[in-house]
Amino acid sequence: MLNDITTDLANPPRFELTGDGPPDFDSATIGEHVSKYGNLEPIILAEDMPAAFRRVRNEVEARRWKLVAADEQRGQLEAIAVTRLLRFKDDIVIRLTAEDTGTRIDLRSKSRVGRDDFGANAKRIGAFLNALKRG
């Protein structure tokens, strides 16, 4: 039963900008996470941090997520997505890291309610990263 999904199990993005985000990722769920969502991986955008940050922010806005914090210097954005049917709120953190070949994008999406999200957070992350890949 998972409701906290990330693209980086070794160093999951942390909700740090607002000071009132969800707790750190529960490492006890790594085995289940890998078996269900082992295909979720970060992507590398072939552009510098400022350009990648703009693209990520534009995609957050296009999805109508509520942007609650953004810090370009730290390479991090935090947002809230609201599910359509029951209006549940899910917290999202996006971390950008400069790499030799561009900018690495990692996401974490965590449901506020329930112990299982029925795959909603993984689908959200996958759709977001696919949209960035398409440009």
The CA R_g of the chain, rounded to the nearest whole Å, is 14
CA atoms of 1 and 23, how far apart (whole Å): 17
Q: String of b and e for 67-80 (b: at least 16 CB within 10 Å)? A: ebbbeeeebbbbbe
Task: Put residue 64 in one of left, alpha, beta given phi > 0 → left and psi -120 to 50 → alpha.
Answer: left
Give the CA diameter of the chain.
42
Q: Which domain holds residue 20?
A: 4-134
Q: pLDDT value at position 116?
A: 78
pTM given for the model: 0.95
Number of domains in the chain: 1
> In the prediction, which pLDDT does 18 show?
87
User: Given a cut of 90, is residue 70 above it in pLDDT?
Assistant: yes
> What does the pLDDT look like over 12-63, one tens digit per residue?
999 999 888 899 999 999 999 999 999 999 999 999 999 999 999 999 999 9
Q: How confident is the model at residue 85 (pLDDT cuts 50, 70, 90)?
A: confident
CATH code of residue 56: 3.30.530.50
pLDDT of residue 65: 97
pLDDT 10s digits, 88-112? 899 999 999 999 999 999 999 999 9
